[in-house]
Structure 1
Amino acid sequence: MTSDAAHSNLKASTGRDGDPVREGPGNHLGPFVTVYYKETPFELRRGVYTTEELITVFSAPAGYLLDLIGQDGEFRELKPGEKIKIRKDMEFSSHPPAGHSS
């Protein structure tokens, strides 16, 4: 299942070469790649995204923190404002802040 929600808050248009152009924060112009949030695939343009952009794209619950899941299975909490270079097959998850239940 590919999520159209990944692009629902962005305006899509077509560039001179006929390829889709994403207008919005960061103006990511690379080719589309598949990334996963909680095992759900999302098609994003390759490029650099902030933590906040990814939280919005994934529609993570309000107040939750975003994690990048490494190839070794380790979860790394992303800091606010951190810039993440999106590549094919990256995996993300989210969790409530420490001391809060989900």
Structure 2
Amino acid sequence: MRDTPVRFSPEDRERAARLVLQQQSEHPSQYAAITALAPEIGCAVETLRRWVRRYEQGPGKDGMADARERIAELKRAVLRLRQANEMLRKASAYLAQAELGPSAER
């Protein structure tokens, strides 16, 4: 095993994924092709498998983009709801104070 991990450029990752897809017809399965090619490329089998999955998803899709968008949308909704809740809390306190009248102020 290596002491420090090897960093591959995005171009190298894409090239490796394309190589797997080209070579998979020569193997019984895509995973068999990944297993055979990973040592030649110099990376772990699981790493190469992830690169292939990302490549198959297409550019700009990392599998988590939709989840990140949804999380951001939910955070905005939570913020709006908190602001509305605070406004309702203040209005409720104001109306309760008005209902008690000036004698409640001490």
Higher Cα radius of gyration: 2
TM-score above 0.5:
no
Q: Which has the higher contact order (CA 8 A, sep 6+)?
A: 1
The TM-score normalised by the length of structure 1 is 0.20
The TM-score normalised by the length of structure 2 is 0.20
Structure showing the higher strand proportion among its residues: 1
